[in-house]
Structure 1
Amino acid sequence: MKLKLLALSILMAFCLSASAAHITGGEMIYDYVGPGTNANSSKFKITLRLFRDNVCSNCAGMPNQVSIGIFSGGNTISFHNVPQTIQFEVPVTTYPPCVQNPPILSYNVALFTFEVELLNNSLGYTAVFQTCCRVNPLQNVFNTSFGNGTGATYMVEIPGMNSISGNKNSSPRFDMGISLICYDKEFTLSFNATDPDGDQLVYSFCEAFAGGIAINANNINPSPPPFNPVPYINGYSSFTPLGGQATINSSNGIISGIGPAIGKYVVSVCVSEFRNGVLIGTHRKDFIVNVADCDFAGATLEPDYFSCKDYSRNFYNLNSSTQNNSFYWDFGVSGRSDDTSVLPRPDFTFPDTGIYKVKLVVNRGQACTDSAVTNVHVYPGFFPGFISKGICTGLPVTFTDTTKTTYGTVNSWYWNFGEEGTITDTSRQQNPDYTYALNGNKQLQFIVTNTKGCKDTVKNTLSIIDKPQIDLAFRDTLICSIDTLQLQASGNGSFSWTPGIGITQLNTASPFVNPALTTTYYVDLDDTGCRNRDSVLVRVVDNVTLIMNNDTTICLTDFVSLGAKTDGLRYVWEPANSVTDFSILNTSASPISTTSYQLTSFIGNCNTTGQMTVTTIPYPGADAGRDTSICYRTPAILQGSIIGSSFTWTPSISLANTGSLNPVAFPVQTTEYVLTVTDTRGCPKEGRDTVLVTVLPEINAFAGNDTSVIAGQPLQLLAHGGSQYTWHPPSYLNSHTIENPIAIFPSEIDFFRYMVIVGTNEGCVDSAYVNVKIFKTEPTVFVPTAFTPNGDGLNDVLRPITAGIKSIEYFRIYNRYGQLVFSTNTMLRGWDGTIGGRTQGTNSYVWIVKALDYLDRPYFQKGLLTLVR
């Protein structure tokens, strides 16, 4: 059972996959046959044309039978299973010569024809076929529906008895040919139709319809109208199915333009059938057009060119093929042979006005040649323009055409006034009025032509407001009763001021006023009927009010704020050179002595003067003394002096007697001591000074390690830690004032001790000692016979003791098994009684030493020792 279900699933997947790229296009037509066999009926022959792309992998084949429904007024009349009548190949228009990368265009069309007898009625009938799927993917239509792409509905409407034709009419039928369309190349594609009754035909792009409920290629009864249009995408629509550069001729159904991007496009064309000017019905064809990545040489020009600014213009081939290898232009100037060019984009200046026939030949005398001819209308002096009057909403704005033309006359106008949210903001009058409902910047467009074919567009931005803007220099001011003031307003339009009391030139933007009392003056601005109002308050006083800040006391050299409260409008401080800004109300100063400052406050020609005194008190004086340096762990006596009433020293932690101006400092590191002074004379701020006590580095005197020599052996002493040295006592030394004297001891002495005093350039000193043991033997290495490494600090390490020895080549210790347990060539280095970190027990060991004595003679000795635990 599972295997059967699996096989069924695979078969269904194959069927659905095969239908994913199925029918390429379709058209339904009808022919009136004659009266029906029943009373009040008619016979019609209905034919469905289905197109299939033969260049299609994994596509379902053409169906052998289709289901066609007949509907009237939303009611189902009948369904018909119609077998395929015939199938043949669709003719393809001959490709241009030398086309590169041409696609394979191969389509079949199948006809499904049947006759049906229908009762005559007023509503008419609709014959419908629906399929699940279109070729997938599509550039201009979004693919929906069960993974197989948007479906299709092909239908035809049979008019009712109310039609001018009664119902004795046959529908138009479209040509079935197909043409090559290359990306970014000029093309033509025929959707021309013929009508058996000779009716007038008018063509247009129209909506293509999606499929009904079908989800695969199986035969299914169609759904009744109405039908949903396909969902257009990527900026395409039913009216621009091939983009903005492709149009349809309404007279012959020829689509022409520039090929859009590579891909497949749903194109639906409607042809409206008129008889004696009355519409009988609309017929449609739905077809998927293929745009290929192909290229071909060619010459393409606009039908007409217009040179309306001057006599010159630039030309270029609209066909940008890489196969256009050469160009030959003839600009059609009669009687001249130099009116040619071989440039791809030539500029040419015509000698006079008129219409010139310009010809372009590409690949002249070569393979893949082509030519094009156009008319160039040369009528310079066409300068479009306009002016507008009015700026407010709710009031008419007048637009006046100012276009100038030297040749011909201006004959058409098109205005787009840029009002958003409406489609009635246009006019074809020469000088229209338009009333705006909304404020904002309006993007105007004015298209104008003349009788010589010149056409141009003027774009401009018009700011629409609800009232004209009034700009005032001030809205509230103060004057003295004896003064005259000029008011200042600006804006576009006519000004008028009220009330007319104490005012002159009241119909100007800047009148003069001298009211006796406080008055509000109103200004009205009229810009072509657009009005606004604003006001200025003029306050009138008889004198100037001035209240100075209180006198104050400051510390000498400080800044002080100067100010007052006043209703004045202009200010002058004196003395002017001692304040930061003498012309503002609140300024500052730094007087060098007690000073009285005067402020004069003005309102026009009225003024009042006030005074503010600033008393200066010197800062408290502090002198912490000169910086000094001291030796490590020595004191320094500070030397302070003050002008003030009290003082403090900080930091106090390393000072003794901080209540004195001469405290003793004991810093352990370089320290800054701050002397702070206060006073009671009126300056509340502190006076401060700092003294730096630098602590010199500690002297680490060293006289060398204790040592031993034999009598008569020179001993090199070496001290360090300073820059000056004195040895005591000076006995047996070659010099007692250097760091490295040599001592030679006589045999009468067993022991000697030296002290060395180490000093620095700053005068700091320290001392150290060295002990010397004098042996009266030959050069010898002494090794103890036993040691006790028990960690008590006594005799824990066995060291060789040298006398008269210059250097040790080696000192070695072996255990009773001959194992080397210790070795060194460094004097005073010894064994701690361990082997590899492990403590050794009581036992006997052999030692061997080899050395050089102070006379460079070899020395060798060996012996026994005992480790005691």
Structure 2
Amino acid sequence: MTRLLLVLTGLSWLLFLSYTPATAQLQTPYILNGAATQRTCNCYVLTEDQLTSSGTVWNKNKVSLNNSFDYFFDVNLGCKDQDGADGIGFILQTQGTNLGATGQGVGFQNIRPSLGVIIDTWQNTDDGDPYYDHVSVQINGDISHSSANNLAGPVTALANSDNIEDCNWHIFRIKWDAVTKQLTVSIDDSIRLSIQKDLVADVFSGDPMVYWGFGAATGGFSNKQQFCAALRPELQFDNNQLFCDGSPIVFADDSRSFGTITRWRWDFGDGSTSALADPPPHQYPRPGKYQVKLVIEDNSGCISDTMKQDLTISSYPIPDFSYDSLCTDRAITIKDNTQVDFGTITQWNWDLGNGTTDQSSTPAANYTSTGTYTIQLQVMTAEGCGADTAKTANVYPTPAIAATGENVCIGEPIAFSGTDITPAIPLSGWYWNFGNGQLQTGQHADYIYPEGGDYRTGVHAVSNKGCFSDTVYVPVTVTDINLFAGNDTLIARGQPLQLNAVTTGNNLQFSWTPDIGLTDPYAPAPVAMLTRDQTYHLTVTSPQGCIALDTVNVKVYAGPDFYVPSAFSPNNDGLNDVFRAISPGVSQLDFFCVWNRWGQELFRTQSLSGTWDGTYKGQPMPAGSYVWMISGKDYLGRAFSRQGTVTIVR
């Protein structure tokens, strides 16, 4: 065997991996019972996902409780939470290697004398089980938590979860201190239970030699339940380790194994390897990303899975930063422009030169006095690689301004003017924003607003060093009376006409001219009584002195009556294209209809403004005569009608 091992050290790692497992299968130190099967060199299935099944795996060789031990195992309780059962147990007993129990007994029930560390995944209320997956320490095959044989627990199997049936492998550690008589149970590096008891005297009647092993069972519900004699390759680094270009990397072995680790195989990801437990410091040839691998073998000949860990060897960063003009009393964001080829910047330490520091990537600097300041930046990568730089920055004064404007009537320009309050600071430009999306430059600006309303015009100035003043706002009002005297209209002679001016604004003055037939020429809505055609001119004046003008034309007919033409020419030339009735004094139209000579109705409307375009269902009617009839009520409510013929001329 020694010669073969010497040869193996010179062979490829593949040969090392392929040699030992077959030997380990033949040298298994365990006896399997029931449903238990060997899955790999160091791993065993206690129960498949089948109902009413049990399996035990016992080490052939007894151990002495007069000696301390620290056992590491990997356990997997299956993937089914709500309907998974029943659990597994680590068991110490003196009776032999063909024992076990099904269902809620978890392979432990009725074995006497015994000690079991039970991970229970099913709530059996008759045993006092809590609802969560739990771990307990019990003796003499008694699974009841209300019994004196329940030495510790139950507590949740996992420190931060009620469920351990999560498809994952968990580290199950059993530590016995023979001197202090202390038994400690940990799962995933979290201590779950600890008891102090003389197991030899109090449990095994003075016999220190015991068998150890695992049992598991299912009943009306099931899970695939497994354990492995732990063989976990792991590495660790010193807390002060730097992963920087040119720094030697110290790899320390932190592997967990049930047995004694006999061989190590390191692959550092750059073509270099080592077979030592703690290899000498390794220096990578260049910065970059590497994948470190570690495989271990124990004294039973079992070889672990390959541990893979990504490792970044950081290059040293090249710190740099930039900023806009530094101006007094202005918060300026400084932008980090640091570059690093490999690695991640995680720390920034700024000294802004004004007595303040900052640890953000983009600090905000604020300087109250002009002058020259030294800004310093120190950066650090997550891998511990640092560098620093410094720049001298000038802080310039910030200008101050004032501004004026005026209220105007619609259509008039507003004269805006800016005033430099700090003439000792040279300015390079003025910038106006008129509050409606329109902009202008210059210290003075004239602007005509296209619509009335209240506006908040802003202006700021910029110094020749790039420092911006505060924005000064000038509120202005543009008055727009928005006058509409009314539509031109027609009435019957003697018919009252209600005029109604529509405006915008308050406290307006109205003047209708001439005042012929008006009840009040200074009211916004006077009544007119006319015997002939009349044009009214309306003048409206605002309190600000703004004036608006509009006119309304009134056509006076004898009536009430319907005036209907005798012919029209619907040829789309813009002249007499439609047939309509003029209806002075008519307040309601009952109908206006047109028929052809066969009595077919071609057109009907109840609108006083309704017109016929000489078509029927979209088709032009031929030239000729058509009969019409119209009926309605006058403004006094009296009904009357007219009828006649109209000729289409084409």
TM-score range (shorter-chain normalised) is 0.3 to 0.5
Task: Tell which structure's C-alpha radius of gyration is larger.
Answer: 1
Query: Which of structures 1 and 2 has the larger relative contact order (alpha carbons within 8 angstroms, sep 6+)?
Result: 2
